Amino acid sequence: MSAGAGQPDDQDVAHDYESLLQFLYLAPVGLVQLAADGGIQMLNPVSAQLLMPLSRDGELTNLFEALGPVAPDLRLQCSAFAAPQGQVCDAMRLYVHADDRNGGPQVLSLSMLKLGADRLMAVLTDVTMQDRRERQLRKTDAWLNAIMTNITDYALVSLDRQGRVESWNESIERVTGYAAAAIKGQHYARFYPDGATTEAQQLDRLREADENGWTLDEGLRLRADGSEFWGSAMISPLPARADETSAAPPRPSDGDPAYCMIIRDISDRRDVSENLRKATYSDHLTGLSNRRAFFEAADLELKRRQKAVRPVALLVIDADHFKAINDRHGHPGGDAVLAHLAQTMRRVCRQVDVLARIGGEEFAIILPSVGQDDALAIAERLRAEVHRTPATYAQQAIAYSISIGVAVMDDTLDGFDGLIKRADEALYAAKRRGRNQVAVWAPPPAEQP
């Protein structure tokens, strides 16, 4: 039989090859094939488009390294995946938070498939817009939840313009245990545990309610006897009393009821919502906020600051010589140090502070309503505490130290990225000066004319 109709000739193969290449060049998702150590073997253009802005050295040789700043756990996750094949992660969100002005993607989705002992495939997509929509939806969900869920018991509290409890009723006593005399005229922060909120934050909630018609938050609440319960509180403004004779609504005096607050004891549902929250917002190793939670909290804090100026401080924390710790004690030893550092951060900070792991050995703390001097004092306390108490791993004490960069928000900055940059600069200054110290960001000296 002669080479005939059934056999594609060289030209056909070349043509198909070209089409196939173009198909991959134009695939609208990022595809990467990598070795077990993260070494990139093949990737298509959209991968480069998404990864190049993250690359610190301008190279794309290793995916774990390229994604290191935003997915510090990835290498561990892949190496800990025991099955010979299977899905390592599915649509995991990576919070890049590239500079807004660059207009680049801020949220990536990563799926990772293990194909063999030394072969992994990654799919990367830009889900910035999708993430934004989902955030909006979550808010609406929380609202619906608050209304639709079976209400077993609730307290109905009226607040004045300043957020003080305006009048007492029986439901308040039922849910929170407060008698009239103990709560009337008190600020509604009385229902929060110590350190769980700041005065500025409480006024924010009221302002939020003014603007949106309602505000909702969930968390630990305090009864009169000091016991805690898991509560959800919704505040909404009361309609201004209509005054038939004048066109302009009368300005309510300070003591009048201005808001209605409903506190519900939802301790039963706490486990469910806590687990869900943990899975989405926590760093696996340390239990602190992950990058996603961190940047969402930062956004919120800055939005609040735009409405009412108040200090916001940021600490960026880095474990000194962490590579050496890993080398000497192995990765589990390094992990023990990170977990210990997280614990120490929790001890030193208030509940309202946002503690996060934002990179491999990099941590950050947002301190709402804290100015530079206090932020410095907190940073110094944290540094000293870490220096004083070593971590332990396998019955062995591992002494380590941290460096901290401090920056506070001011009006020359127009976003959170600028603040992080300053805190990072301060952190490098602390490292340069010999580590185990705190440095605060200082403006560069004015240029000589």
Interacting residues toward other proteins by CB under 8 A = 17-18, 21-22, 24-26, 28, 40, 42-50, 52-53, 55, 58-61, 98, 102-104
Among candidate residues 57, 81, 80, the one with its CA nearest the CA of residue 69:
57
User: Which CB sits closer to other proteins, 8 or 53?
Assistant: 53
- The smaller minimum CB distance to other proteins, of residues 110 and 206, is found at 110
45 vs 185 by CB, closer to other proteins? 45
251: tokens are 């300005």
What CA–CA distance (Å, rounded) separates 150 from 112?
Answer: 40
Give the number of other CB atoms < 10 A from CB of residue 57: 8
d(CA 311, CA 313): 7
CB of 69 to other proteins, least distance (A): 16
Least distance (Å) from other proteins to the CB of residue 128? 13
Closer CB to other proteins, 68 or 231, in the complex: 68
| Smallest gap from residue 36 Cβ to other proteins (A) | 17
The residue type of 428 is Y
- The count of other CB atoms within 10 Å of the CB of residue 170 is 10
Q: Compute the least distance from the CB of residue 296 to other proteins, in Å.
A: 23
Instruction: Indicate the DSSP class of residue 199.
Output: H
Report which DSSP code applies to 259: E
Measured CA to CA, the distance from residue 406 to residue 311 in angstroms comes to 13
CB of 327 to other proteins, least distance (A): 28
Nearer to other proteins, 96 or 261 (CB): 96
The full length of the chain comes to 449
Q: How far is the CB of 37 from other proteins (least distance, A)?
A: 15
| DSSP one-letter string for 343-368 | HHHHHHS-TTSEEEE-SSSEEEEEEE
CA distance 343 to 349: 10
In the complex with other proteins, which residue's Cβ is closer, 61 or 392? 61
User: In terms of CB distance, is 24 or 285 closer to other proteins?
Assistant: 24
Contact (Cβ atoms closer than 8 angstroms) between residue 189 and residue 199? yes
Q: How far is the CB of 58 from other proteins (least distance, A)?
A: 4
